[in-house]
Chain A
Amino acid sequence: MIRSLDRVKRSRIVAGLGAALTVTLLATACTGGSSAPNTAAAKPAELRMLYTTDEANSAAVASLVPQFKEKFGIDLKIDNQPYDALQQKVFSEFASSSSYYDIVVVDTPWAPALVQNLEPLSQYIQNDALNPDGPQSNVGDFIPKVFYDTAVYNADSPIKRYPDPTAKPDASAIKNAGFDVYGMPIQSNVAVMAYRSDLFNDPVQKSNFRAKYGKDLTVPKTWDDYAQVAEFFTQPDKKLYGTTVMAGVGDWATDDFKTLLASWGGDGTLADQNGKPTFDTPEGTQALDYYAKLAQSGHVPPGSTSADWGTTAESFGSGLTAMTINYHDLKLGDNVKGGTIGYAPVPSAKAAGPHFGTWMLSVNKNSKNKEWAYQGISWLTAAEQQTTMTAKSLHPSRTSVFTGIKSDNPLAPFYDTLGKSLAEGVGRARLTNYTEVSHEVAVAVNNAATGASSPTDALKSASEKVSALLKSAGY
């Protein structure tokens, strides 16, 4: 009897606690939810932004802080974190439903998992009072592929893609198609080829190339030409190699493979919208076979099978290679006397599909200053501000900024290539566990590059592992 009374008491206490928890959760959900923007929202003294470091040109954004204050009368406080730390910080902020940061920078691999925590912006974009500098924040000016890949999601099913990624962005059309806008693209990264233009224009090199191959030395447009030019420039005794590969285990190896896979006509996103891997195909095998042969050819510097994007940039910058593929503009070291750099889109085979991924500025769903945060990101990503930030190497996301870059801009050749490459780029699969998927693909790429596995076996093994990962993630 006493025991049963205790049990009754315990169950009442548990029920009471459960009810309290439910009320708390509901209250939290209500305050964190999305509602129509309030155009008369009080102006805060400060907006807080969580941003990355060099990965998305933090210096460029930081340079606009004084103008931001002048424009809005609000202090923009930017917290910068390097990539791994930023990812953990962003996720922990959202996990705790924190309202501390009003604006958060989001990288594309994180977006599918985060999208439920980002404020949908179509209502803000369509509200004239919140867009005093131009209707709809002029979203139609964003490069369509970049905008749809980066910022347009169906929050209930983030794996889905907007059906027409070439259409001019329009908030109403996006909303009508069951999607919404979850940020403003700010830094567009895409794989571009950099080459030593001084070597390519050297009459002696041109003459030697013609003597050896019976044709003119030109910047390669196909992967076959790319391998041939890499072979031509390779002179290990002079510490010069043809090109680079980023075959170390990491997202960079996956990115290299994605570019080649799309070039060979495969699905460069790696997985379809049903959550099935799409890289273990004849096109995938051809692409990885090419990559493995290049990695083992001796035409890339020693250490390429453990290289990442930073290592390859260092190799090219120190004059060790004649060509490279990377995501940003490059600089040559002082030791490379007379060296100059040219840029071109990465070569193609059956198609073109350089890997791309863009950072976006999003509004925290829990922010207490959402209307002002929206106006802030709208202003920061506007054409005028993006043009200003190109002085600090920002990679713009708007078409008008690329067309407006003048020829006297020292980075004009880079921006010209960047704009063309973004227009045909291929993004990542929209998976909540993309990091794990990317890791398995990177292991396969590395195994093929080192010769530990054949490309066929490496892709088969990776595809099986990725299938299991996707199944466990609920796809």
Chain B
Amino acid sequence: MKATAAPLDATLTVDASRRAAGRATAGPRDRKPLTWKKRSTPWVYMAPAMFVLLLMTVAPAIFIFYSAFRNDKILGGVGKFVGLDNFITAVTNASVQHAFLITFGFVAVAVILEMILGFALALPLAAQTRANKVGAALMLLPFAVTPAVAAMVFKQLLNPNYGWVGYYLGVFGFPNGIDLLGDPTSAWIVLVILDMWQWTPFVALILMAGLQSLPGEPREAAMVDGATSWQMFRHITFPAMVPFIAIAAVLRTIQAFKTFDSFKILTGGGPGESTEIINLGIFRVGLQSFNVGLACALGVVFLIILSLLIPFMLRVIGRRSDPEEM
């Protein structure tokens, strides 16, 4: 306890002296008041971007919120305000609850596996050798493939009658004509593998950049002190990488929640409703049945959950990046 108290006191002292210096050098009383023109200049510069943002993002979002409280149909008359009816339907429907649950399950499993595999790929590829540059370029290929195309290729590979996957599983003793998309467990495995194949390079790219930016001195000092590779990874590399891991995890989580193409093309939500993620449901309700109010309510519920989840993730990972918390 004593060992940590001293540096903490020192930090507080430094912060206090910085604040004092700040007041001494640039106190509010010493500043000349800005004219209206000068105050408005930054807003003028920002106006075009803010206008586009308002038009393309904020306005549709407001409209979605508005529609979620109404029973508007895309055709056939004007709808009316229905209060929370759409939200009650969205939250109490057993299929919707199931869809939310499996969506979270998919995101959790896929993102965790991609983070682990991405880190494992980034570690050896971070060294800037010619071979690694070629390896990194090749690794990015799946990331560049359109998700719908990747899913279509996977579907052909998985065809139990003439697909390569079934053939090679047969070579390894599995039954012939195995239908991986016809069983809920194997269908989930396929969907997670496809997601990992496509998005692990994205994670690896971020983590590789992070590893390359780390200073070498702490590792060199640790080597001199006789630290093992594991100890250096555990106590130096990993803590220093936490901010990069946080960025990759948050970006991947947001992307994974938006997954649609692979589920639509590979399983269509089947077998049964076992892979019916919420995005498939919103698509069907909104763009095939055109029940705009319910689709908007589903979207809003999804947005609220994500809005709570992402800051929570950042807080948890951010706390881990604080040396005091390690």
Contacts and interface: CB of A to CB of B under 8 A. Distances in A.
A86 to B, nearest CB: 12
Given A303-B181, A446-B271, A452-B272, A94 B289 contact: no
A92 B75 CA distance: 9
Interface string A428-443: 0000110110010001
B288 interface: yes
A472 B89 contact: yes
B326 to A, nearest CB: 47
A436 B181 CA distance: 22
B161 interface: yes
A5 interface: no
A403 interface: no
A80 B271 CA distance: 32
Contacts of A117: 75
A125 to B, nearest CB: 24
B160 A302 contact: yes
Contacts of B160: 301-303
Interface string A306-324: 1000000001001010000
A248 B176 CA distance: 20
A439 B272 CA distance: 10
B271 A450 contact: yes
Given A302-B177, A303-B160, A320-B161, A450 B287 contact: no
A436 B289 contact: yes
B271 A452 contact: yes
B89 A88 contact: no
B285 A436 contact: yes
B259 interface: no
Contact of B267 (A84, A249, A301, A318): A249
B269 interface: yes
Given A249-B272, A306-B271, A114 B289 contact: no
B271 A113 contact: no
Nearest to A452: B272
Given A303-B181, A306-B181, A249 B75 contact: no
Interface in B67-115: 73-76, 89, 95
Nearest to A472: B89
A450 B272 contact: yes
A91 interface: yes
A465 interface: yes
A34 interface: no
Interface in A248-262: 248-250
A226 to B, nearest CB: 21
A306 B181 CA distance: 7
A354 B157 CA distance: 33
Interface in B152-172: 159-162, 166
Contact of A465 (B74, B95, B287): B95
A88 B161 contact: no
A269 interface: no
Interface in B33-79: 73-76
Nearest to A94: B75
A95 B272 contact: no
A432 B292 CA distance: 13
B182 A113 contact: no
Given A301-B177, A303-B182, A435-B284, A248 B270 contact: yes
B179 A306 contact: yes
Interface in A221-235: none
Contacts of B273: 249, 443
Contacts of A443: 269-270, 272-273
A305 interface: yes
Interface string B261-282: 0000001111111000000000
A92 B292 CA distance: 12
A399 interface: no
B206 interface: no
A236 interface: yes
Interface string A230-247: 000000100100000000
Nearest to B182: A305
Which of B75, B267, B285 is packed against the most chain A CB atoms within 10 Å? B75
A305 B95 contact: no
B176 A236 contact: yes
B290 interface: yes
B256 to A, nearest CB: 22
A378 interface: no
Contacts of A348: none
Given A95-B74, A450-B272, A305 B179 contact: yes
Nearest to B294: A472
A128 to B, nearest CB: 33
A447 B75 contact: no
A400 interface: no
Nearest to B275: A249
A278 interface: no
A249 B271 contact: yes
A416 B187 CA distance: 41
A399 to B, nearest CB: 33
A58 B271 CA distance: 32
Contacts of B177: 236, 301-303
A57 interface: no
A435 B288 contact: yes
B182 A450 contact: yes
B271 A301 contact: no
Interface string A356-389: 0000000000000000000000000000000000
B184 to A, nearest CB: 8
B287 A88 contact: yes
A99 interface: no
A116 B98 CA distance: 36
B247 interface: no
A81 interface: no
Contacts of A114: 75
A302 B178 contact: yes
Contacts of B159: 303
A101 to B, nearest CB: 15
Contact of A436 (B161, B269, B271, B284): B284
A87 interface: yes
A433 B76 CA distance: 13
Nearest to B272: A447
A45 to B, nearest CB: 30
A295 B95 CA distance: 25
Nearest to B163: A303
A302 B284 contact: no
14 contacts: A87-B288, A113-B76, A116-B75, A236-B177, A249-B270, A302-B182, A303-B161, A303-B177, A305-B182, A432-B76, A443-B270, A446-B270, A447-B272, A472-B89
Given A301-B161, A436-B284, A450-B182, 20 more contacts: A88-B287, A94-B75, A249-B273, A301-B160, A301-B177, A302-B179, A303-B159, A303-B160, A303-B177, A303-B182, A306-B181, A433-B289, A433-B291, A435-B284, A435-B288, A436-B285, A436-B288, A436-B291, A443-B270, A472-B89
